[in-house]
Amino acid sequence: MKILVTGGAGFIGSHIVDKLIEDTNEVIIIDNLSTGKKENLNSKAKFYQADIKNYEEIEKVFEQEKPEYICHQAAHASVPESVKDPISDAENNILGSINIFKLASKYNVKKIVFASTGGALYGDADVLPTPETYEAKPVSPYGVSKLAAEEYLYCFNFLNKLNYTILRYANVYGPKQDPFGEAGVVAIFCQKIANNDQPIINGDGKCTRDYVYVKDIANANLSALKSEKSQNIYNVGTGIQTDVNTIFQNLIKISGRNIPEKHGPARIGDQRTSAIDSSKIKQELNWEPKVKLEDGLKETYEWFKNK
C-alpha cells in the first residue's frame, strides 16, 4: 500500500510510520514540525514539510505522490491549548482536516483512517467503560474540533463516497511522547524520575484514565487501513481505569529511585474518570491491546532514561 501519514513526525504518527514500513508499505509523511521532530522521521519514508492548512501546498504532494491510503494524525493535540486558543485549534483540526478530506476525494484515495479521541468526546461519562454509542458532548474546543472532523467524514462519504474509519484513542503513552506539554502524565513523570526530580501529582491523584500503549495504537491503525470495512467508528483503549498515584508508584518501582509521592493543587476542570469500551474493534477488526501497563511503562521509562 502507498500510504500518506499526516503528522508522521509526531509521537503517535511516527510509531505508525515505523509499523507501516515494517509491514513493507510505501510511506509518505506530511508534517509542519509544529510539535513533531525531525529525529522522529523514519529514513525509509518520504518527508514533505508542509502545513495541512495550506490547500495548494498539500495538493502538490497529492499530485506528485497519488497516495492510495491516508492515515490522518496531524492535529493540535492539546486540550488546554484549545481552551486558550480555540480559533487556532479549529483552523488546524477542522479546516486542515477538510483540506485533507477534499484532496482524498479528488485524488480517489481508497480509504482514510482518522485519529479521534475517546476521553475528550465522552467527558465524565456515567457509563464506564464508555462505548461508541454514548452521546458525544465535548466540553473543550479540542473535543468539538475532533467531533466536527468526524461529522465531515460522514458528509464526505455521503457526497463523494470517501471511505473512512474513525479511531477514538484512549490516553496514549509510550516512547517519544513530549514530556513538556500539558498532556501525557506518563511522559512527564518518566522524564522527571529519570532526572531524579520530584514529579508533582495534581490533587489527590485519584483521577483515572484508560492508558493504551502507542505500539498497540499503531497496530490498530494498520488493521483499520487493511480492513475492507468502512464508515465505522471504533474506540481504541484497554477499558481499564488507572489512577495517577498508581502510575507514579509503578514508575518508582521500575526506576528503583527513592522519590516520595508529592501532591499539588487539583487542576480545575480535570475529568475525574475515563475508560473506553473497545469490544467493537475487537469483534470487527480483531484488534485488542497486547501490551500490559507494567510492560509499557517499563519500555517508556527505559526510553526516557537512555535519551
Site for ligand NAD contains 296 (CB under 6 A): no
Nearest-angstrom CA–CA distance, 137 and 142:
12
Query: Closest by alpha carbon to 72, among 171, 180, 153?
Result: 153
**For residue 48, what are the β-bridge partners?**
30
Task: Considering only residues 172 through 191, tell me which ones interact with ligand NAD, judged by CB under 6 A.
Answer: 172
Least Å distance between CB 7 and ligand NAD? Answer: 3
Quick one: angle between helices 96-106 and 55-65, nearest 10? 30
* Residue 142 among the catalytic residues: yes
Segment near ligand NAD (CB under 6 A); pick from 5-13, 98-106, 201-209, 240-248: 5-13
Distances (CA, A) of 265 to 65, 182, 201, 214, 270: 50, 15, 8, 29, 11
Which amino acid, residue 210? D
Q: Are 172 and 183 in contact (CB under 8 A)?
A: no
Least Å distance between CB 146 and ligand NAD? Answer: 6
Per-residue binder mask for ligand NAD (CB under 6 A), 136-175, x = binder: ---------------------------------x-xx---
Q: How far apart are the first and last CA of the chain?
A: 33
Nearest-angstrom CA–CA distance, 274 and 175:
22
Least Å distance between CB 11 and ligand NAD? Answer: 3
Site for ligand NAD contains 75 (CB under 6 A): yes
Segment near ligand NAD (CB under 6 A); pick from 10-18, 125-133, 195-203, 286-294: 10-18
Segment near ligand NAD (CB under 6 A); pick from 33-41, 79-87, 105-113, 260-268: 33-41
Looking at the annotation, which residues are catalytic? 142
Which positions touch ligand NAD (CB under 6 A)?
7, 9-13, 30-36, 51-53, 73-77, 92, 96, 115, 117, 169, 171-172
